[in-house]
Structure 1
Amino acid sequence: MRPSTGRIRPHRLPTRLRSLRPRTLRGRLALIALVSIAVWVAVLTAVFQGLLTAQLNSQTDELLRTRATAAAATVRPSADGRLTIDEPADDSALDVGVWIYQDDQALERPTASRALQNTADRLAGGPAGFSRSTGPDPARLYVLPVLAGDRRVGAVVAAVGPDPGEPTAELALTAAAALAALMLAAVYLVTRAVVGGALRPVAAMSAQAAAWSAADTTRRFGTARRPAELSALAGNLDELLDRLAAVLRHEQQLTAELSHELRTPLARITAETDWLLARPRDAAEQQAAHRAIAESSARMREICETLLSQARDGIGAGGGTGEAPGRCLLAPLLATLAERSAQEFPHAPPVRVHGGDAQVVAGVSAPIVERILAPLLDNARRYARTSVTMECAGRPGSVTVVVSDDGPGIPEGVGEAVFEPGRRADPGDGHDGAGLGLALARRLARAAGGDLTLGRPSAGAGGCFELSLPTG
C-alpha cells in the first residue's frame, strides 16, 4: 500500500451531479432562482403548517373544554361527597367521549377502546389540563375536576379522537405542496424566459462584435439609447474594436512600409551585381559597386532588425510590457533609453531627459517608439559635442518628443532632404552611416499615425528633430 501523503484532496462533485449542472448562464440563473424560491417556500410552508396546527389544536381544546364543562354541569355533589348525575332530556351529545368519575370510580363511560378507557382512568385522578394519548387509538383528552367546596370529589374526562384537525392539516399541507410545485415550475420557466430575454441583446452584440472584428473593424455600436448595462457593454466593445483596429492598422501600415523599404535596396543590390557580372570592371568601378552593395545591405539589415523586433517584442500587442495594445507611457520609456545609451555608449555625449509630464501616453506601442527614436539618438550622439536632450509633451490629440543635440546641426540648404533614403547632409564629415536611419524613422512614425519633422533647437544651434505621435 502507498503511504498517505497527508494532503487534502479538493472536493469534487460526482460525475453524475456535474452532468446535471446547467451549461448555460440562463440555466444556472434559473436554477439559482428555483433553489432560492424553494427554500423560502419550504420555510413559509413550515411556518404556515405550524400556525394552522396550533389553531386547530386551540379549536379542539376549546371543544373539549366545552364538553367537559357541559358534562360537569349535570353533576351535583352531595354533603357526604356522593355525586348525583342529572340526566338531561337529550344527553346524546354529552355521552360521546365523556367520562364521569367519583374519586377513581367511573359513574359513566362512553363506548371506547380498552386503551382509551385505561388512559381516561389514569387521568381521572390527575390534575386538570390537556393531554394526548398515542397508540392504535390516538385521542386528545381534557380533565376537569369536580369540587364539593374546596374538596375534590370527582372528575370529568372528555376525549376527542382521532384529532379532528389532522385531516384539515393534511389537506392544507397537500394543497400547499401542490401550490409550491406549480409555483416553482412557473418561477423556473419565467426566470429562464426573463434571463434569456435579458441576455439576448448581449448575445446579439457579442455576435455583431465578432462579425465586425472579422470583416469590418470600422463599425461601432455608438451611443444609441440602451439600458445602462448594455450601454457600458457597448462602450467596452467599441473600445476593444478601436484597439483591435489600431493594432491591425499599425501592423498593416508598418508591414507595407517595411516591404516598400526592402524593395529599393534589394533592387540596387541586384542591379549592382548584374552590372559587375556583365563585363570586367576596373578597381575603382568594383570598389564603387561593392560600396553600393554594402550600403544597400546595411539598409536591409536595419529594416530586417526592425521587422524582427516587431516579431520578437510583439509590437501592436503591448510589447509584453503590460501596457494596453498600441499604448505606452513616454516618460519611463525615454528614461530607459537614456540609461541604455549611457551603458552602451559610455564615451558618447550623455543623453538627458528634460521636463515632460510623467503621465503622457502615446497611442503607439513602446517598441515602435523605441525603433523610431533609435536612429534619432544615433544621429544625435554622432554629431553632439557635449550632450543630447529628449523632451516629451502632450498636446490636444497628440504627443510630441523632441530630440536635440548641440552639434553643428543640419547644413543650410539640406532641410527636409535629410529624410530621403541614402541622403547624408555631409558625406565627407568622417562619420559612419548610410543615410538610412532618418528615412526609416520617418516612415515608421507615419505608419504609426504620426510624423517626424525638423525642429528648431532651443539654443539656436545644433540638430533638432520633432516626433509627433497620436495620443493614447
Structure 2
Amino acid sequence: MSRLGIRGVRTRLFLAALGAVGVAVVAMTVAFNLLLGRSLSHNADAVARARAGAQLAALRPTTNGLATGETPDEALGESPFWVFSRGKTLEAARSPEVVTAAARSLAGGRSRFLDVGNADVRLYSVPAVFEEKRLGTVVAGVSLAPYEQTRRTALIDSLALAVLLMLVVALAAYRVLAAAFRPVAQMTESAADWSEHRLDRRFELGEPHDELTRLAATLDQLLDRIAASLRREQRFSSELSHELRTPVARIVAEADLALRRERTSSEYRAALEDVLRHAKEVASTIEALVAAAQQEAGLAHGTADAHEAAAKVVEICTQAANERGVSVELAAPISPVRVGVDPELAARTLQPVVENAIRYGRGHVRLSVNRNGTKVTFLVEDDGPGVDDAERERIFEAGLRGTAARNGSGDGAGLGLALARRLARAASGDIEALPSSNGGRFAVTLPTA
C-alpha cells in the first residue's frame, strides 16, 4: 500500500478499527486458552483425587500394615495406581519405569501432585491414615494425553475462529466506512466542481445536526466566501478600469497637447501641473479602491478619533477651498468620539464628500461630528445649489454627475462620491444625500469603536 493510501482518512480509520478488533480478538483468544488450560488442569486434578480416594476407601488396616480390597472398575477406570505400606509395594500398575519411579518417590510424603513430563502422566499421592496412624501411601495417576489433545484442538479452533472473525470484521468495516465516506467524497467532488464552474450552487441541507450536515454547511460557507472574493475581484477590476479611464485619458491628452508644438516655459509648467494633478487623482483613486477591497476582505482594522480624522480632511482640502473662495468650518463634538476604522480609511471616506461640498458650495461649508447610538455621523453641509430629490441616489453611481455639475457648477469626473460610499459601506457604514432646501447636505456614517 502506498504512503498516499495510508494517509487517507478512510484507510487510517479502517486500519485503526482492524487493529483495535485484532488486539481484542488476540486478547480473548489468549484468555480463552489460558482459562481452558486451567480448567482442564483442575479437571485432571479432580480425577486423580477421585481415583486416589476410591483406592484409599478399599484399603483395610491389618497388624502388618494394609490390605487391599476390591475397587470398582468405574471408580478407577484405566488409571494406574500404587499402594505402598511400610516400605513395601502392595499394588503396582504396569507403567513405564519412569512413572513407577516417580510414584515410588511420593511414598511417605504429604498429599501432592507430580507431573511426569516424559510419560504425559500426572500423579497424586494421599497418605493412608487409620486411627491417626499412617500406615501407607496411595498414589493414583491420570493420563494427560486427552487433556492435551483437547487443549490443542481448542487452540487450533480458536485461532481459526479468530482469523474468520478478523476477516468478517475487515469486510464489515470496509463496507461501513465506504458507505460512511461516500457522501463525503461526493460532496468534495461537487464542491471542487462548483468552485471552478458553478459558484451559484450550494448543498443547502438545512440546519446542521450531524457531521455530514455540518460539513455541508461549512462547504456552503466556503463557497460563499469564494464567490464573494471573486465578486470583489471582478468589481475591483471593473471599477479600476472604469474610474482610471478619465484621469489617465486627461494625462495622455495633456501630454500629447504639450508635445504638439513648442511652448513657453510657463505653458510647459501649466501642462505639467495638470498632469501632476491628474496623476494624483489616479493615485488617490487606486488607494481608495485598494482600501475598499481591504476593508471588504476584513484586512483593515483599527480605530480613530472622529474629530481628528475630520480635522485632517479639512487640512487637506484647505488649498482647494482657498482657490474657490470657500470657507470650511469644523464643529467640534461635545465629547470625544471614536470610529471603528483606522484614521486613513476614515479620512479617505470623508474627503470626497468634503471636496464635493467645496466644489459646489458658493462660499461656506460646515462639517460637524455627532454620535448616534452605534454610529458616528459626519454631517457635511454647503450653501450651493443642493441635490434634487430625484438625484439623491444617482449621484453615487460611478461616472454620473448631478444637475448642478452639468450646469457648470463643478468640474469633477463623477467618481468621488461613488468611491466614498463604497468605502463607507465596506466599513459597515454609509453615505446619504439628505433632503435640504438650503444647499447640499450629506451624512457620512461609520461604526463606533
Range into which the TM-score falls when normalised by the shorter chain: 0.7 to 0.9
- Secondary structure, aligned partner of 1:411: coil
SS in 2 for 1:136: helix
Q: Does 1:211 align with 2:193?
A: yes
Matches of 1:291 and 1:315, distance apart in 2? 33
Instruction: Give 1:113's aligned residue.
Output: 96
1:120 is aligned with what amino acid? Answer: A
Distance 2:347 2:197 in 1: 31
Which of 59, 64, 67 is residue 84 of structure 1 equivalent to?
A: 67
Say if 2:331 and 2:368, in contact at 8 Å, map to a contact too.
Answer: yes
Q: Identify which of 411, 419, 426 aligns with 1:440.
A: 419
Q: Is 1:247 aligned with 2:234?
A: no
**1:62-461 counterparts in 2 under 5 A?**
62-78=46-62, 80-87=63-70, 96-129=79-112, 131-223=113-205, 228-278=210-260, 292-307=274-289, 317-319=297-299, 333=302, 335-336=303-304, 338=306, 341=309, 373-375=349-351, 379=355, 388-389=368-369, 391=371, 402-404=377-379, 409=382, 411-414=384-387, 416=392, 437-442=416-421, 452-455=431-434
- Conserved in 2, the CA contact under 8 Å of 1:132 and 1:138? no
Comparing 247-256 with 51-60, greater Cα deviation is found at 51-60
Q: Is 1:465 aligned to 2:428, yes or no?
A: no
Matching residue within 19, 26, 42 for 1:35: 19
Conserved 8 A contact 1:410-1:463 = no
Distance in 1, matches of 2:170 and 2:223, equals 37
Percent of pairs identical after alignment? 33
CA change 1:367–1:99 in 2 (3 A) is farther
Change (3 A) 1:467 1:218: farther
Deviation at 1:209, TM superposition (A): 1.1
Task: Output the TM-score relative to the length of structure 1.
Answer: 0.71
- Please provide the CA RMSD for this pair: 4.7
CA distance in 2, matches of 1:167, 1:57: 13
CA distance in 2, matches of 1:258, 1:376: 17
1:156: how far off? 1.1
Q: Tell me which amino acid in the other structure corresponds to 1:41.
A: V
CA distance 1:76–1:244, shift in 2 (3 Å): same
Quote the offset at 1:204 in angstroms: 1.1
Deviates more, 1:44-53 or 1:154-163: 44-53
51, 59, 63: which is aligned to 2:43? 59
What amino acid is the match of 2:443? F
Q: With structure 2 as the length reference, what TM-score do the two structures score? A: 0.74
The alpha carbon displacement at 1:244 in A equals: 1.6
Per-residue deviation, 1:153: 0.3
Q: Which has the higher helix share?
A: 2
The one-letter code matched in structure 2 to 1:133 is D
Which amino acid in structure 1 is aligned with residue 349 of structure 2?
L
**1:445 and 1:341, CA in 2 relative to 1: closer, same or farther beyond 3 A?**
closer
Q: Aligned partners of 2:446, 2:304: CA distance in 1, in Å? A: 19
Matched-pair contact (CA < 8 Å) for 2:288–2:419: no
* 2:324 equivalent in structure 1: none
Tell me, in whole angstroms, the C-alpha distance in 2 between the residues paired with 1:21 and 1:103.
Answer: 78
User: Relative to structure 1, is the Cα distance of residues 178 and 227 closer, same or farther in structure 2, using a 3 angstrom cutoff?
Assistant: farther
What one-letter code is carried by the residue in structure 2 that aligns with 1:438? L
Residue 141 of structure 2 aligns to a residue whose secondary structure is strand
Aligned partner of residue 94 in structure 2, secondary structure: coil
Q: Name the CA shift for 1:198/1:100 in 2 (closer, same or farther; >3 Å).
A: same
CA contact (8 A) 1:306 1:371 kept: no
Show structure 2 runs of 5+ residues with no match.
317-329, 406-411
- Contact between 2:291 and 2:423, CA under 8 Å: does it hold in 1? no
In the TM superposition, residue 101 of structure 1 has moved relative to its aligned partner by 1.0
Amino acid at match of 1:409: D
